[in-house]
Amino acid sequence: MFVIAGLAMASSVLLTVSDVILRCFRRPILGTYELVGILSAILIGFSLPQTSRTQGHVFMDMFTERLSPGMWQCFHIVSRIVGIFFFAIVSWYLWVMGNDYWASGEGSTTLQIPLYPVAYALSICCLVECLVLVVGMFEEKEVEK
């Protein structure tokens, strides 16, 4: 998943730089804005589970550093449970959105790229995030300070 996110990021950068250069010659790339938007969604969705797994996200510990180890563990578990429910709901809504896109044949505005595969892929990414949170809930046993 992280490789797909990296490819989406590299493609987005390459596409943007190419578009800027070609605009100097009055030959912009058609649909750059929507392609970068789709690639950004793929980048965020596919990098989220790995970022959570390696704890690469921003961690605000102003509140948690004052907790006792037992309270920290309780807070850790409760926050993971809330995250699991949140990403499960987001996954379900993205899957429903993918079904709607597929049924309506909706695509991007300029290039008419079908949007349902992106919605389905992001739905699966959110399910993987749920699994990462479940594993993380049982894996991290000590207070991180």
| 101-114 residue pLDDT tens | 999 999 999 999 99
pLDDT number for residue 145: 44
CB 123 within 8 A of CB 95: yes
Question: Do 76 and 140 meet the contact criterion of CB atoms below 8 Å apart?
Answer: yes
| Average pLDDT across the chain, whole number | 91
Beta-bridge mates of residue 18 = none
What is the predicted pLDDT for the residue at 67? 83
Contact predicate 95/109, CB 8 Å: no
Q: Is the pLDDT of residue 143 over 50?
A: no
Q: What's the pLDDT at 76?
A: 86
Secondary structure of 98-137 as H, E, C letters = HHHHHHHCCECCCCCCECHHHHHHHHHHHHHHHHHHHHHH
Identity (one letter) of the amino acid at 112? Q
pLDDT confidence of residue 54: 87
Report how far residue 92's alpha carbon sits from residue 6's, in angstroms, rounded to the nearest whole number: 25
pLDDT in tens, 20-41: 999 999 999 999 999 999 999 9
CB 91 within 8 A of CB 123: yes
Sign for the CA dihedral angle at 64, 65, 70, 76 comes to: positive
List, for residues 38-88, the tens digit of each pLDDT value. 999 999 999 999 999 888 777 677 777 888 888 888 888 998 999 999 999
In the predicted structure, residue 142 carries a pLDDT above the cut 80: no
* Total H helices, total E strands in the chain: 4, 0
Average pLDDT over residues 8-13: 97
144 pLDDT more than 90:
no
pLDDT at 141 over 70: no
